[in-house]
């Protein structure tokens, strides 16, 4: 595993395990396999409704909490100052931990500047080590940057070879913000995986197309947490540290046509507004 150092001095493992769209039962079944395979970085969220299961599995692993890097995310319904403080405490309770390694604002809606202040208070109180944003446009990120006492350590956005986020990276470069990739493998898109450049490089390095894509992320400095329920894929996705892509190979991958799978709307979509009872999970 390699670790990156974020702009606040804390380190983050470059590869983690994402648990989006996993039920508590799936987390109980598959997160232990991921931990067994060597993963220590887990990416969850209030809105994944599986934090309690993540907390149970981490406790049951018998591995010291300090060995793990745990991320969660707050939803806009909780961004008001008082609600946000309560939401952070509730997240810690569900995950059965006294601190989070990283806490993100999951969506760019509502009172996010207020929530940022409350997250800064949580850092001062030792409840959270690093804070960041997810899915923010550059304009909304700028609003946070303009009022923040703590510069965001992380921006988590859709990022894969079809959407390399070079514009967002240029925007954050001076502040050394670490970019994290959601959909690092294009959510399993068969067309992306079948791009000839990946087959060719897979043949050259004795790896799979998915491993070439994940190695491209590392060459780009991205944090990834591919999701898989398949133990063979879990092992493959962290077996990417024994080779490197050449600069011209990275450039070839970056010359693929660019298109996002999902455009974050300016106003909150219905699925964002529907959520709120985060304790309603096993
Ligand atoms: N902040 C946000 O708004 C946001 C949004 C979406 C996601 N996320 C985060 O990003 C994580 C990953 O996103 P994702 O799961 O949607 O997309 P993903 O990791 O890009 O793709 C997952 C798909 O790739 C397949 N896969 C994984 N490893 C593979 C391998 N070695 N070879 C071939 N196929 C492989 C999986 O199938 P198998 O099960 O068959 O391996 C699954 O279908 C989430 O779990 C979550 O933590 C965040």
Residue-wise over 99-138: b if at least 16 C-beta within 10 A, else e?
bbbbbbbbbbbbbbebbbbbbeebbeeebbbbbbbbbbee
- Residues 177-194: what's their mean pLDDT? 97
Angstrom CA distances, 245 to 8, 189, 208, 212, 280, stand at 29, 22, 13, 8, 45
pLDDT at 114: 97
Q: Look at ligand 1, atom 5, and give the residue with the nearest C-alpha.
A: 182
Q: Is 112 a catalytic residue?
A: no
Do 118 and 150 touch, CB atoms closer than 8 A? no
Question: Model confidence over 61-95: pLDDT tens digits?
Answer: 999 999 999 999 999 999 998 899 999 999 999 99
Angstrom CA distances, 246 to 215, 216, 237, stand at 11, 10, 20
Atom of ligand 1 nearest to the CA of 156: 1
From 74, 105, 182, 191, give the residue whose CB has the most ligand 1 atoms within 8 Å, as the site to mutate.
182
Answer whether residue 27 shows pLDDT above 90: yes
pLDDT at 276: 77
pLDDT at 78: 96
Residue indicated by tokens 């892509």 = 245
In the chain, the domains with their CATH numbers are 3-257 (3.20.20.100)
Comparing 123-132, 145-154, 245-254, 266-275, the range with the smallest average pLDDT is 266-275
pLDDT at 273: 87
Do 182 and 44 touch, CB atoms closer than 8 A? no
33 CA to centre of ligand 1 in angstroms? 16
List Cβ neighbours of 237 (8 Å cut-off, separation of 6 or more).
15, 210, 211, 214, 226, 228
226 CA to centre of ligand 1 in angstroms? 4
198 CA to centre of ligand 1 in angstroms? 18
pLDDT at 271: 86
pLDDT at 25: 97
44 CA to centre of ligand 1 in angstroms? 13
pLDDT at 274: 85
Q: Which pLDDT band holds residue 133 (cuts at 50, 70, 90)?
A: very high
State how far the Cα of 144 lies from the Cα of 256, in Å rounded to an integer.
Answer: 32
41 is in an annotated binding site: no
- Residues 104-118: what's their mean pLDDT? 98
List Cβ neighbours of 105 (8 Å cut-off, separation of 6 or more).
73, 74, 79, 112, 115, 116, 119, 132, 133, 134, 136
- Residues 111-128: what's their mean pLDDT? 98
Residues with CB under 6 A from ligand 1: 18-20, 43, 106, 134-135, 156, 182-188, 208, 210, 225-230, 233, 236-237
What is the signed CA dihedral for 152, 155, 156, 161, rounded to 10 degrees?
-160
Answer whether residue 202 shows pLDDT above 80: yes
Do 133 and 141 touch, CB atoms closer than 8 A? yes
List Cβ neighbours of 232 (8 Å cut-off, separation of 6 or more).
none
Q: Which pLDDT band holds residue 269 (cuts at 50, 70, 90)?
A: very high
Q: Which of 48, 109, 162, 183 is catalytic?
A: 48
Share of the chain above pLDDT 70, in %: 100
Q: Look at ligand 1, atom 43, and give the residue with the nearest C-alpha.
A: 188
From 26, 183, 189, 263, give the residue whose CB has the most ligand 1 atoms within 8 Å, as the site to mutate.
183
pLDDT at 24: 97
Question: Model confidence over 215-236: pLDDT tens digits?
Answer: 999 999 999 999 999 999 999 9
């Amino acid at each position: 595993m390699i670790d990156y150092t974020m702009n606040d001095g804390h380190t983050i493992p470059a590869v983690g395990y994402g648990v989006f769209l996993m039920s508590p039962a799936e987390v109980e079944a598959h997160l232990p396999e991921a931990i067994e395979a060597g993963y220590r970085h887990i990416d969850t969220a209030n809105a994944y409704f599986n934090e309690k299961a993540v907390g149970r599995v981490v406790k049951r692993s018998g591995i010291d909490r300090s060995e793990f890097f745990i991320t969660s995310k707050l939803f806009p319904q909780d961004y008001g100052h008082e609600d946000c403080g309560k939401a952070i405490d509730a997240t810690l309770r569900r995950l059965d931990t006294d601190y989070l390694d990283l806490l993100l604002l999951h969506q760019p809606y509502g009172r996010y500047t207020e929530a940022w202040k409350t997250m800064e208070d949580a850092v001062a109180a030792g409840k959270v080590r690093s804070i960041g944003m997810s899915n923010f446009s550059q304009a909304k990120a700028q609003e946070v940057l303009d009022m923040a006492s703590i510069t965001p350590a992380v921006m988590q956005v859709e990022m894969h070879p079809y959407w390399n986020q070079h514009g967002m990276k240029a925007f954050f470069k001076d502040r050394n913000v670490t970019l994290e990739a959601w959909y690092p493998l294009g959510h399993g898109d068969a067309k992306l995986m079948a791009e000839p450049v990946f087959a060719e490089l897979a043949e050259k390095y004795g790896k799979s197309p998915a491993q070439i894509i994940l190695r491209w992320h590392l060459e780009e400095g991205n944090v990834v947490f591919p999701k898989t329920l398949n133990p063979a894929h879990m092992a493959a996705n962290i077996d990417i540290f024994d080779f490197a892509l050449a600069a011209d190979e990275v450039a070839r991958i970056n010359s693929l046509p660019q298109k996002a799978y999902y455009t974050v709307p300016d106003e909150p979509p219905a699925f964002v507004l529907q959520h709120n009872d985060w304790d309603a999970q096993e």
